[in-house]
Amino acid sequence: MKLVFATHNENKLKEVKALMPAYIELLSLTDIGCHEEIPETAETIEGNAKIKADYVTQKYNLNCFADDTGLLIDALNGEPGVYSARYAGEEKNAEANMAKVLNNLKNKTNRNAHFKTVIALNIANQQFMFEGVVFGNITTEKHGIKGFGYDPIFKPEHHDKTFAELPLSIKNTISHRGLATKKLIDFLKDR
């Protein structure tokens, strides 16, 4: 089965490919000749996932899925949330985003946060949604060099290391994206 993952993000692609069974041939936006940046204009994580999946389905007529992820921090009233990728500006700079989070949490004792990923799957003229959530807290400084995005400052519950310190094999079993992708794979098994 061929399935397009509507992303240009090589890090996301690597994580998801590591989870996919052999019978699913995963293609990226680059693989199908889509080089434009799909606008994420929705007010919700679910809405952005849907926009990206619908774009590929309408323009390329292919079965596909798209994800959107947000980091929601309790002490910041759920920020950065839907704006996680561009929290510090439209250039989507992970270092600047992390610096802004750490600065905004400087005098806060509550560092509880969670990541939420929503996947929108468009297949056989129908849309299905899958969600993954992981709880944890924001560290006071960056740790680790693996991963991407906010991984160096997010420590998942029941772990003493950040996502950026954990091997991908462990991160994929507990992460928001890993959990949502597993639900997607379980659904596809039954089709």
Q: Domain boundaries in the chain?
A: 2-189
At 120, phi and psi to the nearest 5? -105, 120
Q: Is 126 a residue whose pLDDT tops 90?
A: yes
Strands 154-156 and 25-28: unpaired
Q: Which residues are catalytic?
A: 68
What does the alpha-carbon distance between residue 161 and residue 138 come to, in Å, rounded to a whole number? 11
The pLDDT of residue 7 is 95
Q: 2-189: which CATH number, 3.90.950.10, 1.10.10.10, 3.40.50.300, 3.30.1490.190? A: 3.90.950.10
CB neighbours of residue 165 within 10 Å: 18
Tell me the pLDDT band of 166, cut-offs 50, 70 and 90. very high
Q: Are 24 and 188 in contact (CB under 8 A)?
A: yes
What does the alpha-carbon distance between residue 135 and residue 128 come to, in Å, rounded to a whole number? 24
Tell me the pLDDT band of 63, cut-offs 50, 70 and 90. very high
What does the alpha-carbon distance between residue 119 and residue 133 come to, in Å, rounded to a whole number? 12
Q: Is 147 a residue whose pLDDT tops 90?
A: no
What single-letter DSSP state applies at residue 61? -
Q: What is the pTM of this model?
A: 0.94
Look-up of token digits 């003493």 = 160
